[in-house]
C-alpha cells in the first residue's frame, strides 16, 4: 500500500478524513470525464443526474472497470481502512463500493443539504474555476462561501460546532460517515466548471454497527 498523505479532522462528533488524491489518478479521472463529455451517446448513458438531489449540469457514474484499473477503487479502500484503524483500532476486511460518480457543476448550480447511503462516503475536487466570485456587499473575501462544500452535524451549542466549511482545492478529498449532512453552495462570475468526485461504500457490519445489534 502506498503511503497516504492524510489528516484526521476531529472538528465535531464524527471525524473527517482528509487526503490527497494521487496526481496520476486525478489526471486519469479528468481525462476519462473529458472523453465522455465529447461522446454524446456515452455521456447520455452514464448520466445519472436525475438521481442527484441538486440542480447541476451533469452527474457521471464512473464505470467499474475503470475505477478498478486506474487505482481509484484501491485508493478509496486504503483510505477507509486507514481511517477506521486510526479512529477505532480495527481492521476492515470488507469494502463494498456501492457507487462512485463525478459532478459537473457550473455557475448558479447547487446541491442542497442531503446525506448518502451506505456506511462511508466522500467528496473531493478534480477541477475548479479560476474564481467563484465575491460578495456583493463589502465583506472579507474569506467569508464568501460560493462553491464551497459544507459538512453539517448536530446543532450549534456552547463549545460545539455544527458545521465544517471546506474551500475546494484540486486534489483534496474528504471521507465522512454517510449519514453526515452536507451541501454545496452555488457560485457566480465564472463560466468554468467545478468538477467533484464522490462515492458511497459499505464496510464490515460489525465494525460500522457500534451498538452491536
Structural domain count, the chain: 1
Residue 144: inside a domain: yes
Instruction: Count CA atoms closer than 13 A to 26's CA, side-chain side.
Output: 17
Query: Looking at residue 203, which CATH number applies to its domain?
Result: 2.60.120.620
H helices, E strands: number in the chain:
5, 11
Residue 46: inside a domain: yes
Residue 192: inside a domain: yes
Instruction: Read off the pLDDT of residues 109-150 as tens digits, 9 standing for 90 and up.
Output: 989 999 999 999 999 999 999 998 787 777 766 678 889 999
Residue 97: inside a domain: yes
Which pTM was predicted? Answer: 0.89
Instruction: Read off the pLDDT of residues 152-172 as tens digits, 9 standing for 90 and up.
Output: 988 888 877 888 999 999 999
Range of the domain at 46: 16-207
Sign of CA dihedral 129, 47, 100, 67: negative
Instruction: Read off the pLDDT of residues 80-100 as tens digits, 9 standing for 90 and up.
Output: 999 999 999 999 999 999 999
Residue 4: inside a domain: no
Amino acid at each position: 500500500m502506498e503511503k497516504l498523505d492524510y489528516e484526521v479532522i476531529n472538528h465535531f462528533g464524527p471525524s473527517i478524513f482528509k487526503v490527497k488524491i494521487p496526481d496520476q489518478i486525478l489526471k486519469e479521472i479528468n481525462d476519462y470525464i473529458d472523453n465522455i463529455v465529447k461522446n454524446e451517446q456515452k455521456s447520455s448513458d452514464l448520466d445519472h443526474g436525475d438521481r442527484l438531489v441538486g440542480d447541476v449540469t451533469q452527474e457521471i457514474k464512473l464505470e467499474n472497470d475503470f475505477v478498478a484499473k486506474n487505482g481509484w477503487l484501491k485508493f478509496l479502500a486504503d483510505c477507509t481502512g486507514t481511517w477506521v484503524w486510526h479512529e477505532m483500532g480495527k481492521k476492515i476486511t470488507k469494502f463494498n463500493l456501492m457507487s462512485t460518480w463525478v459532478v459537473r457543476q457550473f455557475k448558479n448550480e447547487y446541491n442542497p443539504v442531503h446525506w448518502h447511503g451506505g456506511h462511508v462516503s466522500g467528496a473531493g475536487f478534480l477541477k475548479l474555476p479560476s474564481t467563484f466570485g465575491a460578495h456583493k456587499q463589502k465583506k472579507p473575501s474569506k467569508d464568501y462561501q460560493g462553491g464551497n462544500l459544507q459538512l453539517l452535524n448536530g446543532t450549534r451549542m456552547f463549545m460545539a460546532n455544527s458545521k465544517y466549511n471546506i474551500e475546494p482545492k484540486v486534489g483534496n478529498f474528504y471521507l465522512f460517515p454517510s449519514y453526515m449532512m452536507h451541501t454545496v453552495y452555488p457560485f457566480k462570475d465564472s463560466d468554468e466548471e467545478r468538477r467533484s468526485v464522490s462515492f458511497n461504500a459499505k464496510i464490515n457490519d460489525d465494525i460500522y454497527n457500534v451498538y452491536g445489534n
